Amino acid sequence: MLYSSVKVGIIEIDLDHYNIDTMLRLYSSGRVPTFYLPQIINGLIKHFVNEEEIIAAMGHEFPEDHKFEHARLTQALESKLADWKDGKYDGQKFVEEVREILLLHVTEYDLLLGANDG
Ligand SMILES: [Fe+2]
Ligand SMILES: [Fe+2]
């Protein structure tokens, strides 16, 4: 299942999700060279910051538990990326795991951002 098929309802956020999902999918299918993996992961980490800024720009307070989850995921992603760079972690496995984590994150946290809009 694609996590970008779950719509938050805030266009910039949904677009970000769509782009990240596309990159992860292309990587999974072997259509993106392996050395792009750090760019994909760093793009995802940047998305967390971007998402917080979009909500702030809309004049809403970003939920603390959601911010905490972004920080937790960022740490986990950075440590897995370091393992991958050291050859201790398989790129395909990493990407599959990231896709699962994101689907959960979007449904548990991001969807609430759209629900409070307006
Ligand atoms: Fe998100
Ligand atoms: Fe989020």
What pLDDT sits at residue 116? Answer: 58
Average pLDDT of the chain to the nearest whole number: 93
Residue of higher predicted confidence among 4 and 97: 97
CA distance 91 to 58: 36
Q: How far is the CA of 103 from the centre of ligand 1 (A)?
A: 9
Q: Which ligand has the shortest distance to the CA of 65?
A: 2
Q: How far is the CA of 67 from the centre of ligand 1 (A)?
A: 11
Q: How far is the CA of 15 from the centre of ligand 1 (A)?
A: 10
Each residue's pLDDT tens digit, 15-50: 999 999 999 999 999 999 999 999 999 999 999 999
CA distance 58 to 74: 24
Q: How far is the CA of 13 from the centre of ligand 1 (A)?
A: 6
Q: How far is the CA of 79 from the centre of ligand 1 (A)?
A: 20
Set out the domains of the chain in order of their start, with CATH numbers.
3-115 (1.20.120.50)
